[in-house]
Structure 1
């Protein structure tokens, strides 16, 4: 593991996870991005071609952040999704590539006729 966090803090509105790393890098990662890029099998499937586009998560909130050993956290979202284990390296990756990942998500929603808003349909 190359990324080691020094701070993990949930914003008051529960829509942003702030992560700082020992090398000085820090990121504010939107709950929406964390939810739609969850490392869970529900989102990622069991292979690269099985990834699902999850609509309707623009306003999703993080209810709980729980440590998993010394290597990860488990996030519980207000839609009750709680099966993704976010390792430190994955949180770092989301912080570094979040803008591109969010754009890819928005493009996938558009291509599938889906929406970020609750209900998920345009």
Structure 2
């Protein structure tokens, strides 16, 4: 399995750039990493239980924390921090980015959800 040779957080661009020892390089948007988090909160506890996470277009990554010699934990600015991204999973996310992203956008559309965060402050009826 490929191992990262470089992991670089591009905070302002909301991207994680990862280079692997097999020569592959991926530039992974924070939103993509957040909605594909390997956490049970997103993936569920069994097959077919994956949650469609909406409203994360503006999410950023606060920190990248090493987990042993096999993974990283990403701390997002929406305070999600329970996903542990193994080297194999990061490589998979990079290789499958186009297909996974298309599937995510289809799932949002099917559920009537949006990538945009909910508006704050309402504007609805008062009284």
Question: Structure 2 length as normaliser, TM-score?
Answer: 0.91
Structure 1: which 5+ runs fail to align? none
Question: Which residue number in structure 1 is paired with residue 34 of structure 2?
Answer: 35
Q: Work out which structure has the larger RCO, using CA pairs closer than 8 Å and 6 or more positions apart in sequence.
A: 1
Question: Which residue number in structure 1 is paired with residue 15 of structure 2?
Answer: 16
Moved more, 108-117 or 8-17: 8-17
Distance 1:85 1:118 in 2: 24
The count of aligned residue pairs is 119
Question: Which residue number in structure 1 is paired with residue 125 of structure 2?
Answer: none
Taking only aligned residues, the RMSD between alpha carbons, in angstroms, comes to: 1.1
CA contact (8 A) 1:14 1:62 kept: no
> Deviation of residue 12 (structure 1)?
3.7
Question: Which residue number in structure 2 is paired with residue 80 of structure 1?
Answer: 79
Distance 2:25 2:71 in 1: 16
**Over 6 Å off, 4+ runs:** none
Structure of larger gyration radius: 2
Structure 2: which 5+ runs fail to align? 120-127
> Deviation of residue 14 (structure 1)?
5.1
